Amino acid sequence: MSAGEGPARRRDSEISFATRRRLFLVSGAVLAALMTWALAGMPAFGDYHGIYGLLLNRVAVPQEHATNVITAVNFDYRGFDTLGEEFILFAAVLGLALILRERRDEEEGPPDDDAVGRQVSGASVAVRLITVTLVGPTVLLAGYIIAHGAITPGGGFQGGVIAATALLFVYLGGEYLALRRIRPLPLVEITKATGAAGFVLIGIAGLIWGVAFLDNWLPKGTPGDVFSAGTMQLLSVAVGFEITGGFVLILSEFLDQTIVLRRRRGARSG
Amino acid sequence: MTVLQIVALALVAVGAPAVVAARDPLRQAFVASFYGLLLGVLFFAFAAPDVALSSIVIGSVALPTIILLALAKIGDKDS
């Protein structure tokens, strides 16, 4: 419990602490009773009856040559759903960029990290060493996770976020200016757009090959090979691009807000 | 249920209230980050490594980072 916040707020609120506690105890007891009732009626642990899941577990490897059934579901059997999910993130990042734009009463100041007389000391040598050492392996791991989406756990989404964390390491270990140098925003935006468009284009390419949208039209290879599972690997790479670009943009927007954007002097607030 | 699964469930059961109990947003971001890691262990113990990876990258890296940056911005306005 934080001090200072409680008493002041309690005086303002209409409901007293005792009433609130009583309300919590009653509703908590009701919730506990309902939960107990619901849990008592649940099937035993591990008693799985999902016909769809059992079926996919059996057919995914022979049919689609993907040893990671999750990816087979995401990028093949339910590829169309993933397309929708991808555009949810696309729209979210667009909205974020719009809300966190440079407003009329704001201007870019020199980055806080480089301000004259800055009190906070920079990253220590140990932090610098660790982060700089980790940047390479992080990018490599991200590439591995994206490239092996159809074979081992992971895929474009997880790999994409891992790739974006490499950017965080650069910020933590280096300086904001170094960060700006390694993330040319137009390139990041192109990466993101390429990923989003790539997903759709791979789907449309299937139509040219005479199969359904997002159907697996590439040769499927040997299960377990990097170049297997047909379009799944390509889709994984497309999603990887989009997610990397998306998260780098999100982090950049937030960092810019925090570090360089200043309210213009004399501007009215609100 | 294996021992690992029971331990993972117990840790998550302790971790979730811990996130709520940490009232200071700055501390909460760190506790939430650790909680994301616990969730990752839980999903891994229940044979869902894909979800475990997602949980670790989002729950313990991306979300706390965004909270920290937002806190930095708010603190900036106060001063």
pLDDT at A78: 82
Q: How confident is the model at residue A9 (pLDDT cuts 50, 70, 90)?
A: low
Q: What is the pLDDT of residues A149-163, one digit of tens each?
A: 778 888 888 888 888
Q: Which of A143-147, A180-184, B11-15 has the lowest average pLDDT?
A: A180-184
Q: Tell me whether residues A2 and B24 touch, CB distance under 8 A.
A: yes
pLDDT at A263: 59
* Of residues B57, B62, B69, nearest to A255 (C-beta): B69
Q: Is the pTM of this model over 0.90?
A: no
Between A6 and A188, name the one with better pLDDT: A188
Alpha-carbon span A231 to A216, nearest angstrom: 5
Q: How confident is the model at residue A1 (pLDDT cuts 50, 70, 90)?
A: very low
pLDDT at A16: 83
Chain B contact for A164 (CB, 8 A cutoff): yes
Most B CBs within 10 A among A9, A138, A247, hence the mutation to make, goes to A247
**DSSP reduced 3-state for A88:** helix
Contacts B58 to A, Cβ<8 Å: 161
Q: What is the pLDDT of residues A210-246, one digit of tens each?
A: 676 767 777 777 776 777 777 778 888 888 888 888 8
Q: How confident is the model at residue B40 (pLDDT cuts 50, 70, 90)?
A: very high
Average pLDDT, chain A: 77
- Helix runs in B22-62, H state only: 25-45, 49-57
Q: What is the pLDDT of residues A169-182, one digit of tens each?
A: 887 777 666 666 66
The token duo for B8 is: 């993972």
pLDDT at B31: 93
Rg (CA), chain A: 25
- Beta-carbon contacts of B38 under 8 Å, excluding residues fewer than 6 positions away, are B8, B11, B12, B15
Q: What is the pLDDT of residues A29-82, one digit of tens each?
A: 999 999 999 999 888 887 888 888 888 888 877 777 778 888 888 888 887 888
- Contacts across the A-B interface (CB distance below 8 Å): 52
Most B CBs within 10 A among A89, A145, A151, A158, hence the mutation to make, goes to A158
pLDDT at A36: 94
Chain B contact for A194 (CB, 8 A cutoff): no
pLDDT at A140: 92
Q: Tell me whether residues B76 and A258 touch, CB distance under 8 A.
A: yes
Q: What is the pLDDT of residues A113-139, one digit of tens each?
A: 555 555 555 667 788 888 888 888 998
pLDDT at A188: 79
With residue A108 as reference, give the H or E element that holds it. strand A106-108
Q: What is the pLDDT of residues A242-259, one digit of tens each?
A: 888 888 888 888 877 777
Q: Which of A31-35, A89-93, A108-112 has the lowest average pLDDT?
A: A108-112
Per-residue CA distances from A125 to A50, A117, A173 (Å): 53, 20, 9
Per-residue CA distances from B60 to A17, A106, A257, B67, B74 (Å): 34, 32, 22, 11, 22
